[in-house]
Amino acid sequence: MEELAIGLALKSALPIYEIDQQIQGMIVVWVNLQERPDIAEFLTRQDKGGLCIASLFYKNPGTRELIVGLRIEMRQSSHAVFCLAFEVERYFDQLVLFTQSGWISVAPGPPERLVEIQETGMPIPNKEKMEQCFLVDLGQDLVAGLRSRLDKWKQAK
């Protein structure tokens, strides 16, 4: 991806409220969708299945200011493109978890619990909120590339 395209993708990236670890080691990225009603509408629909293409791009590779960009293009059931930008200095631990599962869940914010704990200690899924999540699988090749970049970033520390 060219420098200009990377700059535009980062400028238009969805604002991130928070990233946390939820179900089975998967990270959940809570995003602000106020300026993207098309994506907000998509996440509230029941039929979120379809083709999704994910790609990674990097800003400032080889430096401490590394930013990992995730570009997601939905091509079936609806068409939309959006990006998420992760400052490695801030989100390193969450990105490492991401490389372990290969899955990321995008959820409309502000953050809420996806799993409630009962008095008995048993987890109960918050079904309504979980239905608004959008799952993205990066695949082995992209995960391996991200893991390599994170290893190099950590060594440069």
- Residue-wise pLDDT tens digits, 50-68: 678 899 999 999 899 999 9
0.85 cut: is pTM over it?
Answer: no
Least confident of 22-31, 32-41, 135-144: 22-31
**pLDDT confidence of residue 77:** 67
pLDDT higher than threshold 80 for residue 19: yes
**pLDDT confidence of residue 91:** 94
Cα→Cα distances 83→26, 112, 115, Å: 19, 22, 26
* Residue 42: strand pairing partners: none
Residue with tokens 């939820």: 22
- Residue-wise pLDDT tens digits, 38-50: 887 777 665 656 6
Give me the helix-helix angle, 140-156 and 88-101, nearest 10°. 140
Classify 67 as helix, strand or coil.
strand
Distance CA 44, CA 52 (A): 17
- Residue-wise pLDDT tens digits, 69-86: 999 988 766 788 899 999
Distance CA 130, CA 105 (A): 10
**pLDDT confidence of residue 55:** 94
